[in-house]
Amino acid sequence: MEQNRISDRAKILLIDEDESISYLLRRMMKRENYKVYNAQNGKQGMEMSTGICPDLILMDIRLSDMDGMELIHWFREWTDCPILVISEQSSYVDKVEALYAGADDYVVKPFHEQELAARIYTALRRRIPSGRRSCYQAGNLRVDFSRRQVLLSGEEVHFSPVEYRILECLALNSGTVVTYQMLLEKIWGPYAERNSRILRVNMTNIRKKIEKLPMEPEYITTIPRVGYRMLESQATPAGGC
């Protein structure tokens, strides 16, 4: 089942100072076969996150050692993984502030376990590709979707979270045209500006990183006034890379 495949490889970082809630959440997530890492405060969560590179962060915004909104901002500086806030603070102001800070969802305590499990699964399903291919392979370029890793001639290439998401979207749809608006909505949401310059800037950076070697093929083709098409993957659908 798709749900089992997602659960078996997803790492979740839990940041909550309430021991009883943390115990409940750990038990629930282990039952779903997630790999759970528990931080007792914000600073510990920061330290753990850079080591494990979580697929999802589940956190309270009421922390004794730092402001929860600032922690969300800090995460958003280097990772685009889903952030689900769980908090006793139920006002719409708190929810709006958390969402604008970079959170993807907001659940008020007390919560129903099945509802939270469904929200976690939905967020992970959007992040972890569940299609038939496990990676993209063309020429000297390889994109490993499960590891979120990009290799060029065997050497890892660093991408910012936004750059990777753009490349991943194009690679998952290789051989077909992905329109500007589809990319804008996928990366920046449904209210992204139609002619946003930020997409062009990121595409320029991506091309510099993957087409820098001599005789390197043109992996991404611009379709004027429409969008981009990525060189079709040579990976077999069933066999991966």
Per-residue pLDDT for the chain (241 aa), expressed as one digit of tens each?
444 455 556 889 999 999 999 999 999 998 888 999 999 999 999 999 887 878 899 999 999 999 999 999 999 877 778 999 999 988 889 999 999 899 999 999 988 888 899 889 888 876 655 444 678 999 999 999 878 899 999 999 999 888 998 999 999 888 888 888 888 877 876 556 665 788 889 999 999 999 876 777 889 999 888 889 999 988 655 444 5
End-to-end CA distance of the chain: give it in Å, rounded: 21
Q: Mind listing the pLDDT tens digit for each residue in 84-105?
A: 999 998 888 999 999 989 999 9
pTM above 0.75, yes or no: no
CB 199 within 8 A of CB 178: no
Domains defined along the chain, listed by start: 2-127 (3.40.50.2300), 135-230 (1.10.10.10)
Return d(Cα 120, Cα 118) in angstroms, integer.
5
Return d(Cα 210, Cα 221) in angstroms, integer.
13
Q: 3-class SS at 109?
A: coil
Kindly give the residue spans of alpha helices, DSSP state H, lying in 82-195: 92-101, 113-127, 161-172, 180-188
- Sign for the CA dihedral angle at 35, 40, 41, 47 comes to negative
